[in-house]
Amino acid sequence: HFFEEDVFELFDTEHNRTITWDHLLRQTSDWEGSLWGKPDWADRPSEGVAKKRARPQNAPGSVYEYNDTRVNVLALALLNIWRKPLPTVLKEKIMDPIGASDTWRWTGYENSFVIIDGQIIQSVSGGSHWGGGMMLSAWDQARFGYLTLRNGSWNGKQLIAPEWIKKSKTPTPANPSYGFMNYFLNEDLKQVPAAPKSAFLHIGAGTNMIYVDPENDLLIVARWIPNEDKAELVKMVLESLDK
């Protein structure tokens, strides 16, 4: 049920102790447990809830599954490293330097609070279908897209290490169309068949898409479009470019 006791020793089971940051970032951890009242099996398991609850956990790294509970685990683990709210870190390190607006928000759930060093801090959530998540304007999406288009550099200042961008764009063995968190890759030409293999996308629920294409020096932000239409939209834009 949804009211199982939450796991705050996030990695104290035999399975969870084998999980790495890489597994969490690539959505291949198959982390087991419950966090903020949301069990790992509750988030859209492809095999159905009954089979998901009955099967053994997959070895970390072997199977890809987009799962908000496990994204929330990553957020809480990162919070324990930074020891201050992740939205504050994002604002200081990325959003302010790229000139983002002051309208974006990144929130957690009503019950996702912890005490760290005597301070009550909300642990943010990754997805929004349970509430929380990140909300931002097309303006802010575009500026973030320009940051990754420019390989993590903004006005001559390296905000994200090129090595991190490279890792983020390295295909996940269990799902070659996915890199690190929210890097949807096109190396197998499945995301956007008409686009270069080097193109990639940041995609949020909606579909809210940031298409990044270094080869064509192109950035597209599209909001609230049917997911199945994103490839056709990019194809039409690419066909309109001067060759």
pLDDT digits over 146-192, tens only? 999 999 999 999 999 999 999 999 999 999 999 999 999 999 999 99
Higher pLDDT, 226 or 1: 226
Q: First vs last Cα of the chain: how many Å apart?
A: 57
Looking at every residue in the chain, the average pLDDT score rounds to 93
pLDDT in tens, 113-133: 999 999 999 999 987 778 899
Q: Where are the domains of the chain?
A: 1-136, 138-243
CA distance 65 to 136: 25
pLDDT in tens, 224-240: 999 999 999 999 999 99
24-58 core/surface letters (b: 16 or more CB in 10 A; e: else): bbbbbbbbbbbbbbbbbbbbebeeeeeebeeeebe
pTM for this one? Answer: 0.92
pLDDT tier, 105 (very low <50, low <70, confident <90, very high otherwise): very high
pLDDT at 136 over 70: yes
% residues pLDDT > 90 (the chain): 82
CA distance 163 to 170: 11
% residues pLDDT > 70 (the chain): 95
Per the DSSP assignment, residues forming a β-bridge with 184 are 178, 201
pLDDT in tens, 64-74: 999 999 999 99
Q: Which H or E run contains 71?
A: helix 68-82
What Å distances lie between residue 204 and 26, 133, 158, 211, 240, CA to CA? Answer: 16, 10, 25, 12, 26
The mean pLDDT value for 212-217 works out to 97
pLDDT at 6: 60
pLDDT at 139: 97
Higher pLDDT, 55 or 2: 55
CATH T-level fold of 138-243: Beta-lactamase (3.40.710)
